[in-house]
Amino acid sequence: MKVIPAIVIVVLCATTSANLGNVQTQLDMNQAAFRELEAAEAEMNTELEHLFKLAHAAGELGSAAKLEQAQAAWLAYREAHVRALWPSEEPGAYGSVHSMCVAHELTRLTLARLAELRSMTDWVEGDVGACRWPY
């Protein structure tokens, strides 16, 4: 049985969000962290819908298909990355903060992906190496 000291878990979760407000219990913190994750995922999905609409409007169905493939691969990466951070399969191995830590990491990764998606349509004229979605 591998036990992670509480201090290590606290360090791993040091990126807690300021949006937790005045929550009092671990359950409250877990729920707040998952609300933040849901908001980040909703924002990412809105951006994806926007990109797919641009591709369809331009008749670039191949671009839409490639984005769909890339997003599926990214989702698989995100899940695998989180499993690698907390690899133990033993129930309770990481304590009651574990689900909050997972939610924070998923949120961090999702916000980074959102920035990547937004950058796909943020090109500057003359930048020959920039993405020109959806072409």
| Band of pLDDT at residue 123, cut at 50, 70 and 90 | confident
Residue 88, both tokens? 């133990």
pTM for the full model? 0.81
| Residue (of 107, 127, 131, 111) closest to 119 by Cα position | 131
CA dist list (Å): 105 to 21, 30, 42, 89, 132: 19, 13, 16, 18, 30
Domain with 107 in it: 61-85+97-116
How confident is the model at residue 125, as a pLDDT? 85
Beta strands in 3-134 (DSSP E): none
Residue 71 lies in a domain: yes
Q: Is residue 135 part of a domain?
A: no
Q: Which amino acid is located at 134 in the chain?
A: P
- Going by C-alpha positions, the residue among 53, 79, 62, 73 that lies closest to residue 116 is 73
Domain tally for the chain? 1
Residue 107 covered by a domain: yes
Asked if the bond preceding 134 is cis, omega within 30° of 0, the reply is yes
The answer to whether residue 53 is domain-embedded is no
Looking at residues 61-90, what average pLDDT do you find? 97
In a domain, 70, yes or no: yes
Q: Is the pLDDT of residue 9 over 60?
A: no
Q: How many Cα neighbours within 13 Å face the side chain of 75?
A: 10
Q: CB atoms < 10 A from the CB of 55, how many?
A: 21
Evaluate whether residue 127 is within a structural domain. no
